[in-house]
Structure 1
Amino acid sequence: MFLSKSARMVLLCLCTISTLYAQQTTITGRVTDAAFGKPLPGVTVRVSNTNRGAITDVDGHYSLMLPAGSNQVTFSFTGYKTQKATVTGNTLNMTLEEDFARLDEVVVTGLATSVKRSNLANAVATLSAKDLSGTAPAQTFDAALSGKIPGALISANSGAPGGGISVKVRGITSVFGNAQPLYVVDGIFMNNASVPAGLNDVTGAATAGNPNNQDNPSSRIADLNPADIENIEILKGASAAALYGSKAAAGVILITTKRGKTGRTNISINQETGFVKVRHLLGQRVFTAETAADLAGAADNPDPDVQAARNTNRQRFLDAQSAGKIYDYEKELFGHTGLLLNTNLSLSGGSERTTFYFAANRRSEDGIVKGTGYLNSSLRLNVDHRISDRISVGFTTNYINSSADRGLTNNDNNGVSFGVALSTTPGFAELHKDNLGNYPRNPYAASNPLETRDKMINNETTNRFVTGVKLDARLLQSDKSTTRFVANGGVDYYNLKTVAVFPRSLQFMENTLGGASIQGNTNNINTNLAGYLVNNFTPSSKASFTTTVGATLETGNFDNILISATQLIGTQTNVDQAGAANPRQFRQKYRDNGIFAQEEITLLDAVTATGGIRFDRSTNNGDFKKYYLYPKGSLSWNLAKMDFWKVKSINSFKLRAAYGQSGNVSPYGSKFTAMVISNTGGLPGSLVDNQLGNTSIKPEKQTELEAGVDISILDGRVNLEATYYNKKIFDLLLRRLPPGSTGFVAEWVNAGDLRNRGIELGLSLLPVNTKNVRWTSNINWWRNRSQVTRLSIPAFALGAFGNSLGTFYIEQGQPATQIKGTIPDPQDDTKNVFVTLGNSEPDFQMSFFNEVQLFTNLSMRVLVHWKKGGDNINLTRLLTDGGGTSPDWDADANGNGVKDGAERGAAGSAALFVQDASYVRIREIGLYYNFPVKNNPFLRNVRVGVSANNWFTWTHYVSYDPEVSNFGSNTINTSISRGSTGVSSGVDVMPFPASKRMSFHVGIDF
């Protein structure tokens, strides 16, 4: 019998498949800990040089199918040394040793490549999920970074719910340009701009003293849920971040979110319940009848109006005292105890080909001011699919909805924000509403802060969608060479709505604006697309070469519409229900693209050399077609891996050096002379703006030389990392005053150079490591010094409120963070002299992290942060002194017979407001216990814990918090005539007080 042609083809295919299947081998085994013999779940077991792999189960078992011709298997697990083994049968058991020094930890070195930490040539800080939020979770992601990044100065611009954090890595990288790092989440460029809500229309904060925006909005990176993060890498210097080109001048923070692993589906439920309290209150002045009268003027003042006001104050105090109605309004405003609820659900797992991670999170936190609070809800789905042994694709999706009610704090020139109104209001004034709900008028300030708190609205609502895809395809593979094509793209879109409503019934609205409704709508979309070719060539076991070439494209489109409506009709809040409206729109678009190449060479697994180059251009630059060059190079030599090394107690001794360049593109609109609206006689038109465009503007360029040594001894139980860097910024983007004959008042120019030098030291210890007790300790110390090395325009002040109060001052030969001001001339007290009063740069910072584990189930973790030095411009004390409400106003510390409040107010010296902002803070402390669960097929783990965040602080700083800034966020200035400043953090003007939180945790894993 003869088979048909089609039947023969089917039979041939079946035989071929059967033959191929027969050539594959299935191996099984168990992975355990080398020290204690306990099983290790979650270990990745992978066929070397392929995408095929498996994950060990809860008992450490695995099963893996080996393709024909493959006999090498790699075992890798976070915190353990990577092991390779040759398969000789159907069973392969493995024991893994802990990697105390993290030498086998893989660190990103390029846009598509990585290297083991033992061969790394740069100082790259890494944070795990446990480091980020495993001790005492902070309110937002950016706040959780505080005290954990050596080389960074992190400060809160406001304590208001929803965050607002300024992050400066290795000093000041720009005066007016972007000074915040680039955030990259799973290859997606995240926008971190802060969008003002138009509060200046009510507060007048920017109408005098300083033109910069002072709305203190939250930072958009705060939208990110810390519970979704697997690890973070901080590329601090240009040598590490050069391949990100013109976006990397302030450093790059690479965030990797959690992914699924092959195996059973794991379900985790975590609940955090806690409370929030104010960290510190200033206290209020204790009045007497006479000191109450003194608020109106001196007793010997002959003016009858002053004497009448004195009598009125005296009587008000006596009436309040007799009625028992002397209040602590500071405590009433800022003393609310808020409820904190954080619920997280996650599922992860998958098959050999497809893995997934899904998480849902809802965080609700009340503020320490009634009516304020933060609500963040997020959904994340990460899916990875292996199309074949050569091609894999990964998807990242994240939806975020957040709402922040932020109150009204910080600087204002109209006396309407909570703190400014409070600064002139004594406790004997009656501000509470009556039985009919009517609030009395405050005779001591422009507003009644209790009424303002209860009636106003200041809300930010964000809807954000972030998605990305990554394709990894092995195009060619041989015994010695593998060529991969890697492509990734991402979209970050958010819609932000801001609503600020001030009813006409408010005290400060009645006779001025007649009520105000300020509503903003912002749409922002950022995209990034990149493609790379990566070739790994290994001619022998002693040498490997990795070559990467690629191209990138990034776009951004920001559109903000803000409408300020006044003279509201009745109780209406719509902007069309008002007597006057002022619409404003600000739009900006950019398109950046780059081309890069990089070569990495590793010899003897001991010497690693890297060289790379990137060409970047941007539509923001004067010549948008011109490519700017950003090279990089690095070299590391681990002497302990050489044959001549005989010191067995030193496991790693690595010398390293790196050089790189990165940039900072010109501010949007700096090359154009814009047109502004005009209205003459009711006829609309356009006029030329007063800022002159500069068509030759170019980006700032940063170069950095970094050198260091890493030492690991006693099998990784003692590890030292020391780094020195010298970072120079050329062609600073500054604003100058053009010649008067031009008719313009400002122009962007490249007019200066800046230098930062610093030292970073890290020491990790494992003092005790037994079966029942383990103690790990990490100590970091860092400092930075800046200097303006060239300034081709006159020295200028920025970021504060004038010479008489202290101001940041950009001056050649001086630190970029110096604070200058006027003081009485020691030689002639009728004159003032302008002198240096301080520096906002800390002398140094230091962090201590310790974790003690007992019997593997009980752990205690503590993070202490010490900031030594660094001055703030404390204008909160200026306001309370001027209002006569400082708690120490009546004291006489020097015994000269003059009250301290009066003496400070009459001194006429800016030196009084420049204060040392040193502190020691226990940022995080947590105590956790894991209940052992045995022989339960459904329940894997139960854990409980208690934690405190920012609960203890020791400082001599006289205000709400030494870690504060009225400016400093990466604010989008909705006018191209203004630029945000990267220098002026540390300005204290009646901020939203900092809070501390206590939480209880319960977690269940199924």
Structure 2
Amino acid sequence: MKNLKPFYLGLWCLLLMPLLLFSQGRTVTGNITDINGRPIAGATVSLKQLNQLTTSDASGRFTLSIPAGATSIMISSTGFKSKTVSVDAGAASVTVQLEEDVARLDEVVVTGLATSVKRKNLANAVASISAQQLTGVAPGQTLDGVLSGKIPGALINANSGAPGGGSSVKLRGVTSVYGNTQPLYVIDGVFIDNTATSGGLNAVTGAASGGAPTSNQDNPSSRISDIRPEDIENIEILKGASAASIYGSKASAGVIIITTQRGRQGKTSITVSQDLGQIRVRKLLGVRQFTAARAASLSSDSATSVALAKQFTDAQAAGHIYDYEKEVYGNKGFARNTVLSMSGGSDKTTFFFSAATKKEDGIVKNTGYKNTAFRLNVDHRLSDRIKIGVSTNYINSSADRGISGNDNSGVSLGIALASTPSFAQLHPDNQGNYPNNPFAASNPLQTIALMRNNESVNRFIGGANIEAVLQKSLQSTTKFVGRGGVDFYNLQTNVQFPGILQFQAVNKGTSIQGFTKNLSTNYIFSLVNSYTPSSALALTTSAGITQETGDYNNLLNVATQVIAGQSNVDQAGALTATQFRSKYQNNGIFAQEEATLLEGITLTAGVRFDRSSNNGNVAHYYAYPKAGVSWNLTQLGFGKNTFFNNFKLRAAYGEATNVPAYGSKFTSAVVSNIAGNPGSLINTQQGDPAIQPERQKELETGLDFSILKGRLGFELTYYYKKIDNFLMLSNLPASSGFSTKWLNAGDLRNQGVELGMNAKPIQTRNVTWNSSVNFWLNRSKVTRFIIPPIPQGSFGYVLGSFQVEQGKSATQIVGLNGAGVGVLGDAEPKFQMSTYNDITFFNKLSLRFLLHWKHGGDNINLTSLQNDFGGTSVDYDNVTNKQGLPDGVYRITQVGVNAEQFVKDAGYLRLREIGLYYSITKLPVSFIRGIRVGVSLNNYLTITKYKSYDPEVSNFGTGFSTGVDVDPYPATKRADFHISVDF
């Protein structure tokens, strides 16, 4: 036993040595600033090869305990170049200045479900949007509304200008015809549901044929609009399969990864901000200037013409000529937005809390938007090896959206206005009774005053993540990474048309009540091993499993013959209920390997196996590979100290899936009444149990380089994306016993280029100018199509329609051209450009603006046609055509002959945002750290030849057929005053 004592003593010394070394460590404090001396908050301070890190507080200060023997620390922050600083043995404090990373080479970008890499070694073109770009110029109403013009490779259209948002977002062209076309939104690891739910207005408007109450022409808002942009720290956009394939089937149209603000170590900081503004209509079309003769021309009946002429002269004599367009859309809405945020914590626990409320009036009376939200994000380090984080967000929103858009009953505001001349008398009498409109099916002033169309949402989004170091050595680290969460919302739609309304003479009051519950869950469990056998090689291996589920339940009740003064559906003479329920479960298995050689060559290879309950074979796992390579020549020493500061070549390939529509594999049963008995009949839509998912394949290649000491950076990308087996609903011969069937109908491809530039044209002690310019274009083509081409998503050849056809653009618009049917245009722009600029004077005054140029891209503009039919077009009496007819008459004569007049260039140059801000940092009181004041304009200047309310419009929803313009709720512009106080 005595002989063993030296052995045990030596073993205990070895075991205690790390603790003894750590106990001999020291505490280092520091201050982090930019080159102008401004503090950098949230910078990460870490020790290489050790799992110890901290962040700088709002004043740029940090404190870090380091063990004996550690000689250097690494400092990194978004927007700045990373820097390694040596810490001398006797030093207790350091001051670090970070240089701005104009080319964003040190920006960390997501490359997998649990891994990331610096942009200088990235194989894909991943767009990033900072908090300042998102909300620091001219804040918009909703998140989907503030993304426009900020994503290279995206085509974004507002479905309607109605309060509450609603946009169509397409990344790198058409990714599906009738499948999912919208990107996946991921917020702090939680997959967000973005379903647009119809409010049932089709039961009154009859916009879509078939009599179903739900329709994609109701222009509902997208649910991503619930998320408040003020809480967001950063957004990354994975635009194609080469980057997004690892996210599975819900990522077929790209991924928008949103990271919300997190707490920072240090004293609790509090920020209170207040925005006050005014919202106005962006543009009015104008109204026809009537005379007695023009009034008489509204009818072909001689007696009626005489009566109309007298009605006009009487109204003119009484001073009762009105601009009803201005009355309906000319309301000046007041907007307010209040945000309180708090951030702080210790070296173990940090938190971020925000409470915000906004209320905005619409340009139509009795419309508007309200949103109240609370967020709490908490991060806690249980030990040096385990850290956890929780994100919670509660949202309550309410949108009064009015009634607009396509309508076959003459009840929506735009359709009614189109046939209402300025001499009509629509105002209420002294008792508040509105007269009937003799020129239309409804009195728009009465409709505004008495009807209601409200969407109200209660939503909770909760996410959690855990990162645990399972093994750690000088060369290898193995971590368990788990992320996931839940997205649950209750959506209630409330549509009321009282029986007193002119167009309710038959239904005698309509109440439409919709109730929707949606529960989405997802989780990702993965193991990540980082292995660095030498300074020349670093390997990162990750593998794991994923699951996403969805449970959507929509119940829509349409009641007519509603008792006067009542709104409940049980207070009615007739009630029709419609219910739609869908559930899905997607499972995935993934593995990915990343290798970095000599800190200059990065190789990535991975595969994802996916199965879905929506596939024909629910048990089959489909394989979707990905691979990428980046070769940074300057990191490898080539061309160092020459013209280029950084030069990188890159290429990536990936495949992704888009699952079939819910229920497409089944032949469902529909309710039927047989001899007074309820029963079920086979539906006329045939299911296909062998239906397969769409498969997307994308090859992306490009180069990135920076010059002039990094002050000028360029990013050039080319992509080729192919979609195989895209899904379509096909017509069947009557002999089959069915009318339609889902099938894998063909293939299409997109190819395009994206060019980006980041620059700092001016950098002096008193003036700094940061600028970015982006250019992008996309071209699509249907390469295989197994069914006959037919019009899709509009009104057929007479007025212009989309049509999928082999050998043609996937977004072509076809119609009558005077000699038959031909191609009239294309919804895809010829190209788009945008530039964002931030000019700062004396570190106090900042001017920021965003310009967006969309060149080309056609809309089917039927708003002007409706005004022609009603005889109210502002240019109705102009004579510019060769036949010498009034232009309004001439355009009507072309209906059924030539549809070219309805397909219009929707290009524009728009000053989307401009803001001027001033920061005050020297104050007589110590408890206020700073005050910022500013003014901003949103969508105030648009240069376009497009003759409607806005070239950005999509009355037919977010799917394939965007760009249809039928009397939408007009777009708005806004001016705001901002003040923010930091405590």
- Scaled by the length of structure 1, what TM-score is found? 0.94
Secondary structure at the aligned position of 1:142 is classed as helix
Mapping 1:459-608, distance limit 5 Å:
459-510=454-505, 512-608=506-602
Mapping 1:636-785, distance limit 5 Å:
636-785=630-779
> Does the Cα contact within 8 Å between 2:270 and 2:340 map onto a contact in 1?
yes
AA partner of residue 196 (structure 2): S
Please, which of 391, 399, 411 is the counterpart of residue 396 of structure 1?
Answer: 391
> Does the Cα contact within 8 Å between 2:57 and 2:264 map onto a contact in 1?
no
- Write out per-residue CA displacement over residues 216-256 of structure 1, whole angstroms, 9 at most, x where no aligned residue: 10000000000000000000011000101211210000000
Residue matched to 2:31:
31
Distance apart, 1:44 and its partner CA: 2.3
Please, which of 798, 801, 805 is the counterpart of residue 804 of structure 1?
Answer: 798
Mapping 1:130-141, distance limit 5 Å:
130-141=132-143
Please, which of 219, 240, 250 is the counterpart of residue 222 of structure 2?
Answer: 219
AA partner of residue 698 (structure 1): Q
Q: Does 1:990 align with 2:972?
A: no
Separation in 2 of the partners of 1:230 and 1:569? 51
Q: 1:85 to 1:200 in 2, by over 3 A?
A: same
- Write out per-residue CA displacement over residues 402-438 of structure 1, whole angstroms, 9 at most, x where no aligned residue: 0000000000000000000000000100000000111
Q: Percent identity?
A: 56
Distance apart, 1:95 and its partner CA: 2.9
- Write out per-residue CA displacement over residues 649-688 of structure 1, whole angstroms, 9 at most, x where no aligned residue: 3111000000000010010000000011111232111111
Please, which of 453, 470, 473 is the counterpart of residue 458 of structure 1?
Answer: 453
Secondary structure at the aligned position of 1:421 is classed as helix
Distance apart, 1:776 and its partner CA: 1.4
Residue matched to 1:248:
251
Residue matched to 1:373:
368
Residue matched to 2:164:
162
AA partner of residue 830 (structure 2): D
Separation in 1 of the partners of 2:39 and 2:247? 41
Distance apart, 1:640 and its partner CA: 1.1
Separation in 1 of the partners of 2:33 and 2:624? 45
Please, which of 876, 879, 904 is the counterpart of residue 889 of structure 1?
Answer: 876
Q: Does 1:44 align with 2:53?
A: no
Distance apart, 1:102 and its partner CA: 1.2
Residue matched to 2:287:
284
> Does the Cα contact within 8 Å between 1:933 and 1:942 map onto a contact in 2?
no
AA partner of residue 983 (structure 1): F
Secondary structure at the aligned position of 1:824 is classed as coil
AA partner of residue 744 (structure 1): F
Structure 1 vs Structure 2 CA RMSD: 1.8
> Does the Cα contact within 8 Å between 1:135 and 1:861 map onto a contact in 2?
yes
> Does the Cα contact within 8 Å between 2:782 and 2:808 map onto a contact in 1?
yes
> Does the Cα contact within 8 Å between 1:39 and 1:59 map onto a contact in 2?
yes
Residue matched to 1:975:
none
> Does the Cα contact within 8 Å between 1:24 and 1:65 map onto a contact in 2?
no
Secondary structure at the aligned position of 2:305 is classed as helix
Distance apart, 1:862 and its partner CA: 1.1
Residue matched to 1:99:
101
Separation in 2 of the partners of 1:590 and 1:265? 43
Please, which of 145, 148, 151 is the counterpart of residue 147 of structure 2?
Answer: 145
Comparing 596-605 with 902-911, greater Cα deviation is found at 902-911
AA partner of residue 955 (structure 1): T
Please, which of 850, 864, 873 is the counterpart of residue 860 of structure 2?
Answer: 873
AA partner of residue 960 (structure 1): Y
AA partner of residue 303 (structure 2): A
Q: 1:758 to 1:209 in 2, by over 3 A?
A: farther
Distance apart, 1:48 and its partner CA: 2.8
Comparing 591-600 with 210-219, greater Cα deviation is found at 210-219
Q: 1:584 to 1:892 in 2, by over 3 A?
A: same
Q: 1:59 to 1:584 in 2, by over 3 A?
A: closer
Comparing 98-107 with 186-195, greater Cα deviation is found at 98-107
Q: Does 1:85 align with 2:81?
A: no
Distance apart, 1:311 and its partner CA: 1.6
Distance apart, 1:934 and its partner CA: 5.5
Comparing 847-856 with 113-122, greater Cα deviation is found at 847-856
Secondary structure at the aligned position of 1:308 is classed as helix
> Does the Cα contact within 8 Å between 1:207 and 1:413 map onto a contact in 2?
no
Comparing 410-419 with 791-800, greater Cα deviation is found at 791-800
Residue matched to 1:187:
189
> Does the Cα contact within 8 Å between 1:678 and 1:684 map onto a contact in 2?
yes
Secondary structure at the aligned position of 1:957 is classed as coil
Please, which of 102, 105, 120 is the counterpart of residue 122 of structure 2?
Answer: 120
- Write out per-residue CA displacement over residues 481-519 of structure 1, whole angstroms, 9 at most, x where no aligned residue: 000000111100000000000000000001x21110000
Comparing 678-687 with 340-349, greater Cα deviation is found at 678-687
Distance apart, 1:381 and its partner CA: 0.2
Residue matched to 2:270:
267
Mapping 1:814-825, distance limit 5 Å:
814-825=808-819
Secondary structure at the aligned position of 2:634 is classed as helix
Q: Does 1:947 align with 2:936?
A: yes
Separation in 2 of the partners of 1:54 and 1:736? 58
Q: 1:34 to 1:964 in 2, by over 3 A?
A: closer
Residue matched to 2:4:
none
Q: Does 1:968 align with 2:967?
A: no
> Does the Cα contact within 8 Å between 1:24 and 1:66 map onto a contact in 2?
no
Q: 1:850 to 1:276 in 2, by over 3 A?
A: same
Q: Does 1:342 align with 2:337?
A: yes
> Does the Cα contact within 8 Å between 2:185 and 2:256 map onto a contact in 1?
yes
> Does the Cα contact within 8 Å between 2:860 and 2:965 map onto a contact in 1?
yes
Residue matched to 2:947:
958
Separation in 2 of the partners of 1:412 and 1:59? 57
Comparing 185-194 with 210-219, greater Cα deviation is found at 210-219
Separation in 2 of the partners of 1:35 and 1:258? 25
Please, which of 158, 164, 177 is the counterpart of residue 179 of structure 2?
Answer: 177
Separation in 2 of the partners of 1:984 and 1:793? 19
> Does the Cα contact within 8 Å between 1:702 and 1:729 map onto a contact in 2?
yes
Please, which runs of 5 or more residues in structure 1 have no aligned partner?
Answer: 1-11, 298-305, 826-832, 970-981
Separation in 2 of the partners of 1:350 and 1:50? 22
Please, which of 282, 306, 328 is the counterpart of residue 333 of structure 1?
Answer: 328
Secondary structure at the aligned position of 2:872 is classed as coil
Separation in 1 of the partners of 2:712 and 2:855? 26
> Does the Cα contact within 8 Å between 2:28 and 2:66 map onto a contact in 1?
no
> Does the Cα contact within 8 Å between 1:919 and 1:954 map onto a contact in 2?
yes
> Does the Cα contact within 8 Å between 2:32 and 2:56 map onto a contact in 1?
no
Please, which runs of 5 or more residues in structure 2 have no aligned partner?
Answer: 1-11
Distance apart, 1:16 and its partner CA: 8.1
> Does the Cα contact within 8 Å between 2:616 and 2:689 map onto a contact in 1?
yes
AA partner of residue 748 (structure 1): W
AA partner of residue 922 (structure 1): L
Separation in 2 of the partners of 1:24 and 1:363? 53
Distance apart, 1:308 and its partner CA: 1.8
Separation in 2 of the partners of 1:34 and 1:685? 74
Comparing 233-242 with 731-740, greater Cα deviation is found at 731-740
Separation in 2 of the partners of 1:760 and 1:583? 48
- Write out per-residue CA displacement over residues 676-709 of structure 1, whole angstroms, 9 at most, x where no aligned residue: 1111232111111100010000110000000001
Number of aligned pairs? 966
Distance apart, 1:567 and its partner CA: 0.6
Distance apart, 1:92 and its partner CA: 4.5
Residue matched to 1:915:
904
Separation in 1 of the partners of 2:599 and 2:930? 40
Q: Does 1:436 align with 2:420?
A: no
> Does the Cα contact within 8 Å between 1:762 and 1:780 map onto a contact in 2?
yes
AA partner of residue 901 (structure 2): L
Secondary structure at the aligned position of 1:100 is classed as coil
Distance apart, 1:121 and its partner CA: 0.6
Secondary structure at the aligned position of 2:216 is classed as coil
Q: Does 1:423 align with 2:425?
A: no
Separation in 2 of the partners of 1:464 and 1:996? 28
Q: 1:39 to 1:842 in 2, by over 3 A?
A: closer
